């Protein structure tokens, strides 16, 4: 158990809908990352937040957005869903402290999204 929790575990929805995925980082971790993993694309970095602020951005679609709240939990919002958005979505957290250091990421168990 990494200490990172993600809800829900599974989500089934229809095209065009909007969903919210939730992540609670390990206690004390200030940084949260979101990843998408599909069979054909592998593990893709979407976005990173540090203490409520966006820090790094990857291949995140405009239909997707994220935020990190004052209690450090994070939400990933996916809207106008398409069939191709079906994937595993992972959240990770790390105890990033200074910009000159590198961190260890602890991954949650993931949310499996199925778009029908």
Partner 1 sequence: DAKTTQPNSMESNEEEPVHLPCNHSTISGTDYIHWYRQLPSQGPEYVIHGLTSNVNNRMASLAIAEDRKSSTLILHRATLRDAAVYYCILRKTSYDKVIFGPGTSLSVIP
List of residues contacting partner 1 (CB under 8 A) = 2, 4, 31, 33, 35, 42-45, 48, 50, 55-58, 90, 92, 94, 96, 99-110
**Torsions phi, psi of 73, nearest 5?**
-70, 160
Nearest distance from C-beta of residue 23 to partner 1, angstroms: 11
Q: Name which of 68 and 94 has its Cβ closer to partner 1.
A: 94
- Six-digit token string for 114: 């199925």
Phi then psi dihedrals of residue 103, to 5 deg: -125, 160
Q: 41 or 77: whose CB is closer to partner 1?
A: 41
Q: Residue 64 — φ and ψ, nearest 5°?
A: -105, 145
- Closer residue to partner 1 in complex, CB, 2/17: 2
Q: How far is the CB of 47 from partner 1 (least distance, A)?
A: 10
CB of 8 vs partner 1, minimal distance in Å? 15
Contact between 45 and 32 (Cβ < 8 Å) = no
Q: How far apart are CA 14 and CA 52, in angstroms?
A: 30
């Amino acid at each position: 158990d990494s200490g990172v929790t993600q809800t829900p575990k599974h989500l089934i929805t229809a095209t065009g809908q909007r969903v919210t995925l939730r992540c609670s980082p390990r206690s004390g971790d200030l940084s949260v990352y979101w990843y998408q993993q599909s069979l054909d694309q592998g593990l893709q970095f979407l976005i990173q937040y540090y203490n409520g602020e966006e820090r790094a951005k990857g291949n995140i679609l405009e239909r997707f957005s994220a935020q990190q709240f004052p209690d450090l939990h994070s939400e990933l919002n996916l809207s106008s869903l398409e069939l191709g958005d079906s994937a595993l979505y992972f959240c990770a957290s790390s105890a990033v402290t200074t910009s000159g250091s590198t961190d260890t990421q602890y991954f949650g168990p993931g949310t499996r999204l199925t778009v029908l």
